[in-house]
Amino acid sequence: MQKSVARLGIGGPVGSGKTALLECLVPLLQQQGVEVAVVTNDLLTHEDADRLKRKGFLPTERIIGVQTGSCPHTAIREDPTMNLLAIRDLERSFPQLDLIFVESGGDNLASTFSYDLIDAYLFVIDVGAGDDIPRKNGPGFMQADLAVINKIDIAPYVGADLAVIRKEAGERRGSKPIAYTNCKTGEGLDHVMQFILETVLFRSTPYEPTFLETQAISHQPSALSAQRFADR
């Protein structure tokens, strides 16, 4: 019997950092021995797939770019056929896979995934869009299995109050988890990794994060983090 491959969606508005998150997570997952492939969705191009291929961290055949040609949420919710076909191709070509990511095209706060397509999904918003985003009750953010609030490093530059974001995101999400991340330094990614390994992949060994992932919120990337993430 073929082993079943976990599928994890990544949704959220344009520019919130969905692809940046993948650029961080794929190498971290590989370090944990997880066999990964990625399906990206773009409206009329293969931009995100090409960007990930250029990174060189995965064989290019493990990255498929789906051109949705329509509202991004149609391809992850109403009719996910194109994404299901891409997943089928990856599963057939790489039977060793443990996890397939499906990055949605950038969409609005209402955008959710069909659970016919994925097992769980992350919804990424970014601090630069304003500290009022969590209280706007977007179904994507409210219902996601893990909400990711990204770009915490830019809060002081855009006048966003992280304390307000934390309070209101917590109120809206209730007991559902939230991660606060900086994809430029790796800060906060330990929570995302923990979610993937424990909740999506059912690993029983606790995740041992690297120093960078756990350092306290600082808005000045250290020399070490700047070096490690220099090409992001």
Ligand X SMILES: Nc1nc2c(ncn2[C@@H]2O[C@H](COP(=O)(O)OP(=O)(O)O)[C@@H](O)[C@H]2O)c(=O)[nH]1
Residues contributing to the annotated binding site for GTP: 12-19
Q: Which is nearer to Mg ion, 19 or 112 (CB)?
A: 19
Q: Of ligand X, Mg ion, none, which one sits near residue 162, judging by CB under 5 to 8 A according to partner kind?
A: none
Q: Which is nearer to ligand X, 198 or 210 (CB)?
A: 210
Helices 18-31 and 47-55 meet at what angle, rounded to 10?
30
In the complex, least distance from residue 73 CB atom to ligand X, rounded to whole angstroms = 14
In the complex, least distance from residue 53 CB atom to ligand X, rounded to whole angstroms = 15
Q: Of ligand X, Mg ion, none, which one sits near residue 150, judging by CB under 5 to 8 A according to partner kind?
A: ligand X
In the complex, least distance from residue 19 CB atom to Mg ion, rounded to whole angstroms = 3
Give the closest residue to 16 by CA, choosing from 82, 144, 103.
Answer: 103
| Run of H or E residues at 37 | strand 36-42
Give the separation between CA 121 and CA 102, rounded to whole angstroms. 9
Count of C-beta atoms within a 10 Å radius of residue 185 = 25
Residues contributing to the annotated binding site: 12-19
- Please, how many CA atoms are within 13 Å of residue 211, restricted to the half-sphere of its CB? 4
Give the max Cα distance, the chain.
Answer: 54
Q: Which is nearer to ligand X, 4 or 214 (CB)?
A: 214
Strand partners, 103: 10, 40
Q: Which is nearer to ligand X, 43 or 154 (CB)?
A: 154
Q: Of ligand X, Mg ion, none, which one sits near residue 17, judging by CB under 5 to 8 A according to partner kind?
A: ligand X
In the complex, least distance from residue 71 CB atom to Mg ion, rounded to whole angstroms = 16
In the complex, least distance from residue 9 CB atom to ligand X, rounded to whole angstroms = 13
Q: Which residues bind ligand X (CB under 6 A)?
A: 12, 14-20, 106, 150-151, 153-154, 182-184
Say which amino acid occupies 110. Answer: A
| Cβ atoms of residues 156 and 173 within 8 Å | no
How many Å from the N-terminal Cα to the C-terminal Cα in the chain?
39
Q: Which residues bind Mg ion (CB under 5 A)?
A: 18-19, 48
Q: Which is nearer to ligand X, 115 or 157 (CB)?
A: 157
Joined together, the tokens standing for residue 163 give 């304390």
Q: Which is nearer to ligand X, 75 or 183 (CB)?
A: 183
- Please, how many CA atoms are within 13 Å of residue 118, restricted to the half-sphere of its CB? 26
In the complex, least distance from residue 109 CB atom to ligand X, rounded to whole angstroms = 13
Question: Going by DSSP bridges, is the β-strand pair 120-126/36-42 parallel, antiparallel, or unpaired?
Answer: unpaired
Q: Of Mg ion, ligand X, none, which one sits near residue 42, judging by CB under 5 to 8 A according to partner kind?
A: none
